[in-house]
A and B are shown apart, each in its own frame.
Chain A
Amino acid sequence: MKNEEALAVQNLRVNYKIYRGILKVLDGINLTVKRGEKIGLVGETGCGKTTTLKAIMGILAGNAILSSGRVTVNGKVVLQRSAHHMVRKSAKRVAMIFQDPTASLNPVFTIGEQMELVVRYAANRSSSAREAAVNALRLAQLPDAERIHTNFPFQLSGGMRQRVCIAMALAAEPNIILADEPTTNLDVTIQDQVLKLLKRLCDEQELALVLVTHSLGVARETCDRIYVMYAGTIVEYASSQNIFENPYHPYTRGLLAALPRLTGEGIAEGIEGRIPDYLNPPQGCRFAPRCEHATEKCFSTKPGFYEAEDGHFVSCFLYETERGVASDVSHSSDTES
């Protein structure tokens, strides 16, 4: 049971059509989440974390093009590139928590009205929707759930709103929660409470969690495994501990070095350069232009995944010789159609 896959994303490529051309944002994302597992998706702003989540939820913007890939939730394919178009089904038992709790609650309906809709349509329960909603509010540790049920979003504080969003996610009775930087818009003191709540709920109800964050610290505290993303690609994944103790990919190393420290050693160094232009992304490794170890090969060929240690995969030619291509990543098998 525990080892079953709750979520599998295979070779996901998503482009956006804009006026100036085609933005090639996601360039073959692969990730798997087992039941009850908490993974972190870490990377800079603009690296495609939110696009990945939206693809899983089936709520990509109208100008998004799925050029390849497949998303499987609880064994069912919810998103797939078929012969000519993308097939999209709304994923049951997946819930999402958005970055900005103010924008993710409808300003003109009460919390109760909104939650009951979720209970009705996502959890397929038409009777006792109200009790289910109030119950979910209680689970999210909201004091006076009965009253909050009748409140409008603007009557609550930011932290309470995010708890309401968590409650709403629970009301969908999911087994996977996707959380898109759920604490970024909150006060520092409240950030911690909300994260702890999320983590505890996932543990108690054996929910899988995909936590998107740009903060490595948050990911380490919360997640079992971490996927590091760079410019629409996964560059490295391993258990949280391993990523911190033994980062392999030059980007991960840079990211860790960029963490400010409280010991007062001055401002941490960042990584030179910027995220590449998605209109014209580098042909080979997308990190190559910013990488100090880059060779000619890096510029012309995309690296595969190499297992640097048990369960620690790196997408970088520096580790090509280590143990060969990882078994669970196959770049060609999904594009048949």
Chain B
Amino acid sequence: MSLTKYIIKRIVYSIGVLFGVSILIFVISNIVPGDPARMALGPRAPEWAVEDLRKEMNLDKPLVERYFLWLSDLMRGDLGESLRSRRPITKDIAEYLPASIEIIALSAFFMAVIGINLGRLSARFSGTWFDGVVRILSYTGIVTPAFVWAILFVLLFSYLIPIFPTTGRITPGLAAPPRITGMYIIDGLLTGNFRVALNAFWHIVLPSLALSMGGAAQAARMTRASMVDNAEKDYILAVRAYGVPNKLIYRRLLLKPSLVAPISIMALDIAALLGNAFLVELVFLYPGISRYGVEAMLNKDLFAIISVVLIIGIGYTIANVVIDVIIAHLDPRVRLGGAKSA
């Protein structure tokens, strides 16, 4: 009961946070210099046309009024029109966001599996050559930008050893599955197009792996550090003295209390991918939300910028709620609110 209550509480808080975020985004993107209407129409458009567009976009009204106009549109599910594609932004997002979610979900999976397991093993074999190798790998992972990994992986696994495709979401010539969620893998599975689902999955392996490297490296370091720290605690010494096998200690008894820090960091890393995946999406010519966002910014496509930033904000909020739930699950002190029953 208390866990559900806890989650609901977190979600209610999050809505409040998002409301604040929306004000901040709106104000900042509106006071950034440059005239969106002029940018949209180009330097040679006549002044009256620019003036008309400004009116159409409500740019002639005061900021506060504009915010509320935008907010009421938002409530109706209308994010405005992109000045560049001349399409409703909701349509653009419906196209790009699912593609991004697929990549981010897979790289979250990679991050957790690679990061936690490497950390766990190097804690268990700390001081050995294995620990040293993982240490070097982790530092490399942390300091190397994701797009460098992306290029490296393409060179290694697409050209040198051609296992994975280089670009796109799906092999050209293969029809995209009927649209249900917009995520090719899920849609493929739902409609029984397993070949398409597998093909789409094959396309996101390399980009996801490239994106996950930094977070995985960091998670490995943190998992190792907190496990090595906790290994000296009396409760671990005690079970060790009682003959509980090392395997069980490192997989469960020591791992569980050591996961809070790495998981908190990982969730934020994952949320950051929504916005930071730009260069990786570029390397793989992958139509994700991050590329869309960067292009919108370069063109001062006002409402598109606001929408993308808002989505990133929502992403962070969701990540935070998820972290809180996972941590509550791991740590009874959070879950049960420290209430004493005795």
- A residues with CB within 8 A of B: 54, 57-59, 61-62, 90-92, 94-96, 98-100, 103-109, 114, 117-118, 121-122, 147, 151-152, 154-157, 160, 168, 172
- A59 to chain B: which residues have CB within 8 Å? 237, 240-241
Is the Cβ of B241 less than 8 Å from the Cβ of A109? Answer: no
Considering the chains assembled together, what is the distance between the CA atoms of A45 and B35 in angstroms? 73
Which single residue of chain B is at the shortest CB-CB distance from A53?
Answer: B241
A182 CB to closest chain B CB, in angstroms?
Answer: 12
- The reply on B239 being an interface residue by CB < 8 A is yes
Considering the chains assembled together, what is the distance between the CA atoms of A160 and B340 in angstroms? 12
Which single residue of chain B is at the shortest CB-CB distance from A155?
Answer: B341
Considering the chains assembled together, what is the distance between the CA atoms of A98 and B242 in angstroms? 13
Is the Cβ of A98 less than 8 Å from the Cβ of B234? Answer: yes
- The reply on B332 being an interface residue by CB < 8 A is yes
B128 CB to closest chain A CB, in angstroms?
Answer: 12
- The reply on B19 being an interface residue by CB < 8 A is no
Is the Cβ of B253 less than 8 Å from the Cβ of A98? Answer: no
- A105 to chain B: which residues have CB within 8 Å? 235
Given the interface contacts A59-B237, A155-B336, does A160 sit within 8 Å of B253 by beta carbon? no
Which single residue of chain B is at the shortest CB-CB distance from A61?
Answer: B232
- B235 to chain A: which residues have CB within 8 Å? 103-107, 114
Say which size band chain B's interface belongs to. 20 to 34
Considering the chains assembled together, what is the distance between the CA atoms of A54 and B342 in angstroms? 32
Is the Cβ of B234 less than 8 Å from the Cβ of A121? Answer: no
- B233 to chain A: which residues have CB within 8 Å? 103
Query: Which B residues from 11 to 58 make CB contacts under 8 A with A?
Result: none
Considering the chains assembled together, what is the distance between the CA atoms of A61 and B341 in angstroms? 36
Considering the chains assembled together, what is the distance between the CA atoms of A59 and B232 in angstroms? 10
Given the interface contacts A59-B237, A98-B234, A103-B233, does A108 sit within 8 Å of B331 by beta carbon? yes
Is the Cβ of A92 less than 8 Å from the Cβ of B243? Answer: yes
B242-255 interface bits toward A, Cβ cutoff 8 Å, 1 = contact, 0 = none:
11110010000100
**10 A–B pairs (Cβ distance < 8 Å), ordered by A:** A57-B237, A58-B241, A90-B240, A90-B242, A98-B237, A104-B234, A106-B257, A108-B332, A121-B243, A154-B332
- B244 to chain A: which residues have CB within 8 Å? 117-118, 121
- The reply on B59 being an interface residue by CB < 8 A is no
Considering the chains assembled together, what is the distance between the CA atoms of A106 and B249 in angstroms? 11
**Given A91-B241, A109-B253, 9 additional A-B pairs, CB 8 A:** A59-B241, A61-B232, A92-B243, A106-B253, A107-B235, A108-B257, A121-B245, A122-B242, A154-B338
Is the Cβ of A152 less than 8 Å from the Cβ of B242? Answer: no
Considering the chains assembled together, what is the distance between the CA atoms of A154 and B333 in angstroms? 7
- The reply on B256 being an interface residue by CB < 8 A is yes
Is the Cβ of B341 less than 8 Å from the Cβ of A90? Answer: no
Which single residue of chain A is at the shortest CB-CB distance from B258?
Answer: A108
- The reply on B298 being an interface residue by CB < 8 A is no
The list of the 5 closest CB pairs from A to B, nearest first, reads A122-B242, A104-B234, A57-B241, A152-B332, A106-B235
B342 CB to closest chain A CB, in angstroms?
Answer: 5
Considering the chains assembled together, what is the distance between the CA atoms of A73 and B165 in angstroms? 64
Is the Cβ of A108 less than 8 Å from the Cβ of B330? Answer: yes
Given the interface contacts A92-B243, A109-B256, A155-B336, does A104 sit within 8 Å of B342 by beta carbon? no
Query: Which B residues from 275 to 325 make CB contacts under 8 A with A?
Result: none
- The reply on B75 being an interface residue by CB < 8 A is no
Is the Cβ of B239 less than 8 Å from the Cβ of A152? Answer: no
Is the Cβ of A118 less than 8 Å from the Cβ of B239? Answer: yes
Is the Cβ of A103 less than 8 Å from the Cβ of B331? Answer: no
Considering the chains assembled together, what is the distance between the CA atoms of A103 and B236 in angstroms? 9
Is the Cβ of B234 less than 8 Å from the Cβ of A90? Answer: no
Which single residue of chain A is at the shortest CB-CB distance from B126?
Answer: A62
- A152 to chain B: which residues have CB within 8 Å? 332-333, 336
Is the Cβ of B333 less than 8 Å from the Cβ of A107? Answer: yes
B96 CB to closest chain A CB, in angstroms?
Answer: 40
- A62 to chain B: which residues have CB within 8 Å? 127
- B127 to chain A: which residues have CB within 8 Å? 62
- B245 to chain A: which residues have CB within 8 Å? 121
